[in-house]
Amino acid sequence: MLHQITWKVTKFQEDVLIKNDFFWIKWVYFGLQTQGEFFLYPFLDTNHNIFYYAIFDNPNQYELFLRLIKISWIGVKTANYISTKFELEEIKTAIDNSDVKFFIQVPGIWQKTAKKIILELKDKISLEDLEKVQQEEEIKEKIIKTLVNLGYSRLKIEKILKDYKWNLEKPAEIIQQVIKQL
């Protein structure tokens, strides 16, 4: 389950805290945002019996993270680092070119692991699929803002859009469909 909430990034000594008015979460955050909307993914690392929150700037990073943690020798922190530190195009190019040096720059990744990442993800990362997820999220947020400005409940709108079958229709058409269900 992926949660989307508005947070602020704060440094406390060596730690990074993602916080809002209600609570904070300590996490190693590698993204570039300092405030705004973040995607929070609760994750149970069954190998170490530890519960983590992986934090992302956008849904593409989340999709990449899910693919990375399926690779043996890639832990939650490493997957989170790769998915948030680099642009998707950089990663795709490195994989297409079998660029082992690109992945070796990630802390904790050696040549053998870098080769494994390239082999595992070759032909599995589609920029088009991940860009579609990003487009859907952007359209969804525009629709929510529009309907909230018209006086509709954000929670009700989000509930309807959660089950909506996206096919990248025009936002005006989606708004009409949502209004009919409100």
- For every residue of 119-181, DSSP letters joined together read HHHTTT--HHHHHHHHHHHHHHHHHHHHHHHTT--HHHHHHHHHT-------HHHHHHHHHHH
Residues 116 and 140 in one domain: no
Q: What is the CATH number of the domain that holds 29?
A: 1.10.150.20
Q: Determine the pLDDT at residue 91.
A: 87
Query: DSSP assignment of 87-126, as one string?
Result: -HHHHHHHHHTT-HHHHHTSTT--HHHHHHHHHHHTTT--
Q: Record the pTM.
A: 0.59
Residues 103 and 151 in one domain: no
pLDDT by residue for the chain (182 residues), tens digit each?
A: 555 566 677 766 666 677 777 777 666 667 767 677 777 777 776 766 777 777 788 777 888 888 888 887 788 788 888 988 888 888 888 988 889 999 999 988 888 888 888 888 886 666 566 666 667 777 888 888 888 888 988 888 888 887 777 665 677 888 888 888 88
Residues 121 and 133 in one domain: no
Residues 26 and 69 in one domain: yes
Where in the sequence is the domain holding 175, given as residue range(s)? 129-181
Residues 26 and 108 in one domain: yes
Q: Is 11 helix (H, G, I), strand (E, B) or coil?
A: strand
Residues 78 and 141 in one domain: no
Domain termination site, one of 80, 99, 125: 125
Residues 48 and 77 in one domain: yes
Residues 107 and 174 in one domain: no
Residues 133 and 75 in one domain: no
- 147 within 8 A of 115, measured Cβ to Cβ: no
Residues 42 and 109 in one domain: yes
Domain termination site, one of 81, 101, 125: 125
Residues 34 and 98 in one domain: yes
Q: Determine the pLDDT at residue 101.
A: 92
Q: Report the Cα 118 to chain-centroid distance in Å.
A: 20
Considering its fold, how many domains does the chain have in total?
A: 2
Domain termination site, one of 78, 101, 125: 125
Residues 26 and 76 in one domain: yes
